[in-house]
Chains A and B, each alone.
Chain A
Amino acid sequence: GAGVSQTPSNKVTEKGKYVELRCDPISGHTALYWYRQSLGQGPEFLIYFQGTGAADDSGLPNDRFFAVRPEGSVSTLKIQRTERGDSAVYLCASSLYGGNNNSPLHFGNGTRLTVT
């Protein structure tokens, strides 16, 4: 079956621009996570959805970052007024129920964002 799909795979944007990153999870997975990975670091948590609602958005670094999952499936991560420090690989992962049900994460291939 289809895995987690992320688009675009690469995005180059100028400082100050707005970007949207899309994640299409595995069908039927209720939990969806966004992570950000910078060089030499492990995946850094951004936000976690259970269904349509953001169950935990404590990882969003500031109010320039926002994410939605309006129908409990596809999610969009939105970054306003991008800064060079936002450059990273943005990973999306889905899980059947979430971490506390022993269901592992299924990751997409990531979106590599470069802010020039």
Chain B
Amino acid sequence: ILNVEQSPQSLHVQEGDSTNFTCSFPSSNFYALHWYRWETAKSPEALFVMTLNGDEKKKGRISATLNTKEGYSYLYIKGSQPEDSATYLCAFISGNQFYFGTGTSLTVIP
């Protein structure tokens, strides 16, 4: 069983604040790291697919970095908006398997 950890478990921020959270994963047998956003009453949607050490990906106000040698990825949200409220899941990919963390639940307070 591969251990993928996310922190913090939950987060409340004020609208306009920037925030970040962490995904930790094994540094061996790495193939890829995915980030997903899961809004209430919807299905999880892929945000980023990251494969290379040092990768940085950006989509609007959301960006992510990857360090495969030390086994972590950060997700950043700049200027949080209420519509960013969701659970953010990371998944470590190895051997065609997706190993998910428990997620970070973000609530943006207007």
Per the CB 8 Å criterion, the residue count for chain A at the interface is 29
Hey, which bits of chain A sit against chain B, CB under 8 A?
3-4, 31, 33, 35, 40-45, 48, 50, 55-56, 91, 93, 98-100, 102-110
Evaluate contact between B32 and A107: CB separation under 8 angstroms: no
Hey, which bits of chain B sit against chain A, CB under 8 A?
4, 6, 31-32, 34, 36, 42-46, 49, 51, 89, 91, 93-103
User: How many residue-residue contacts, CB under 8 A, span A and B?
Assistant: 68
Evaluate contact between B96 and A42: CB separation under 8 angstroms: no
A selection of 14 A-B contacts at a CB cut-off of 8 Å is A4-B43, A33-B98, A42-B4, A42-B6, A42-B100, A45-B98, A45-B99, A56-B96, A99-B32, A104-B36, A106-B46, A107-B43, A109-B43, A110-B43
Given contact pairs A40-B102, A102-B49, A109-B42, A31 touches B96 in the complex (Cβ within 8 A) = yes
